[in-house]
Amino acid sequence: MLRRMLRWRVRLRWYAVALLLPVVVTLAAAALNVGLLGAQLSSAAADPGGLWTLLSTFFLLLLIPGIGGSWEEPGFRGYALPRLQVGRSALRASGILGVLWAFWHLPLVVTGVDTWIDGFLFTIVWTPVFTWLFNNAAGSVLIVMLFHNMNNAFSGVYVGQMFSGQDSLNQAWLRLALWGVVAIILIVGYGPHDLSRRHHKQEVAIVRIPETRPDK
């Protein structure tokens, strides 16, 4: 698991995907929210210090364990996913892990810290995208940590403060729908078995201890 966290020798395209895809999806949701639903941007949208806040938040959540969702990745993608993909398709493993990940957030949802959309539904829809990125990036946990962290910093902190009330709720639904579209495109385009055209799904060898019979 630690080796996967330090696996940085990955093609630059996957760094670009990890850092830019959350930005593109979030901005698309915001544009639809404003353009189609008439959402009103708050004063935070014009704050010149917003980009500095984004950068500082990004590095804070990434570098300090326990305060950001990206530190879930060593467990869910680094440990659980390679084991769930043994004997299962990447899509089926994603379905199982997505439900487990959603229930992991359930205490936050019940206590009102997070919403049902973001804490529960979003994690299920988002998981196949994580699996696709993880399998194509040679099982690099670092890449999925960057991906998770950029979404939290940009969508949750930077753009999230630009909407309030019903506009914020609509933004969450639009973001959920767009990530669902991304997941469907990836499943169809890369295939459900490996979620990759060039790489097999990331698995670990399961060592089975042979049964021993007592001497008669």
CB-CB contact of 81 with 134 (8 Å)? yes
pLDDT recorded at residue 41: 87
Whole-angstrom distance, CA of residue 157 vs CA of residue 68 = 12
What does each of the 216 residues of the chain score in pLDDT, given as a tens digit? Answer: 667 667 778 899 999 999 999 999 999 999 999 999 999 987 655 565 566 777 777 877 777 766 777 888 889 998 999 999 999 999 999 999 999 999 998 888 888 888 889 888 999 999 999 999 999 998 999 999 999 999 988 988 888 888 989 999 999 999 999 999 999 999 999 999 999 987 778 877 554 555 555 554
* Residue 113 is assigned to a structural domain of this protein: yes
CB-CB contact of 77 with 141 (8 Å)? yes
- Which is nearest to 178 in space by CA: 20, 24, 25, 17? 25
* Residue 100 is assigned to a structural domain of this protein: yes
pLDDT recorded at residue 50: 65
pLDDT recorded at residue 177: 97
Q: In the structure encoding, which two tokens stand for residue 77, read together?
A: 């993608």
* Residue 98 is assigned to a structural domain of this protein: yes
Torsion, Cα of 86, 87, 91, 96 (10° steps): -70
Whole-angstrom distance, CA of residue 15 vs CA of residue 20 = 8
* Residue 44 is assigned to a structural domain of this protein: yes
pLDDT recorded at residue 207: 47
* Residue 178 is assigned to a structural domain of this protein: yes
* Residue 13 is assigned to a structural domain of this protein: yes
Secondary structure, 3-state, 162-216:
HCCHHHHHHHHHHHHHHHHHHHHHHHHHHCCCCCCCCCCCCCCCCCCCCCCCCCC
What does the chain come to in residues?
216
* Residue 199 is assigned to a structural domain of this protein: no
Which domain covers residue 131, as residue numbers?
Answer: 2-190
Number of domains, the chain: 1
pLDDT recorded at residue 210: 54
Burial class (CB in 10 A: 0-12, 13-18, 19+), 75: middle
Whole-angstrom distance, CA of residue 194 vs CA of residue 201 = 5
* Residue 144 is assigned to a structural domain of this protein: yes
